[in-house]
Structure 1
Amino acid sequence: MTTVTTAWDASQYLDGPEMIAAYVDAAFEEGDPAVMASALGNIARARGMSDVAAAAGLGRASLYKSLSEHSHPEFATILKVIKALGLRLTVAA
């Protein structure tokens, strides 16, 4: 008997501000830039990539590329996406 599986898509479960905040907080806590970019990409897909790209002043294809798992986006791009998503980056001691 064959087991059929499908890829897990985090964007399907990011349905509220609290869930999004917890998800991005956990991703940033990892300290891996690729995980951070991927998490922002998942949130952008949950919110609508075209809408997020427009709000960030970026092209949709460029945003997909910047937030893919193996990308190395510039910090300025990350800040634009965070702002477009309605999030705020904070630092705590």
Structure 2
Amino acid sequence: MINDQSHDEVMAAIFRKDPAYAAELLDSIIEEGAQGELLIAVRQMTKAFGGVAEIAERANLNRSQLYRTLSEQGNPEIRTLSAILKSMGLRLAVKPLDSGQLPA
């Protein structure tokens, strides 16, 4: 049987099934500093947690703003990213580096 689901749809299903995995993945992407990957993951999570219209409403953003924010050219402000994540039951957090990662 051929799988007709896109990669984004498959990832959205995984995130719906395991929101803790979604949080761990975002955390690792943020740690690596890969903004493009972060936006891809948040786009996939948007599908998983209700779709653009629902996430935009919960985050107090309009749909076009959310589409622009999550586009390949998107560069979300921290407050926008925080609002989007909060609408999914997540939040940004700061934590100390492991002692082996501390700058000299």
Q: Which residue of 2 aligns with 1:28?
A: 30
Residue 7 (structure 1) shift: 4.4
Q: TM-score, normalised by structure 2?
A: 0.72
Distance 2:76 2:34 in 1: 13
How many residues align? The count is: 90
Q: Tell me the SS of whatever aligns to 1:14.
A: helix
Q: Which residue of 1 aligns with 2:73?
A: 70
Q: TM-score, normalised by structure 1?
A: 0.79
Distance 1:46 1:36 in 2: 15
Letter in 1 for 2:49: R
Query: Per-residue CA shift, 1:13-60, capped at 9, x if unaligned?
Result: 212221211221222122022222222121111112211110100112
Q: Which residue of 2 aligns with 1:12?
A: 13
Q: Which is greater in Rg?
A: 2
For structure 2, the 5+ residue unaligned runs are 97-104
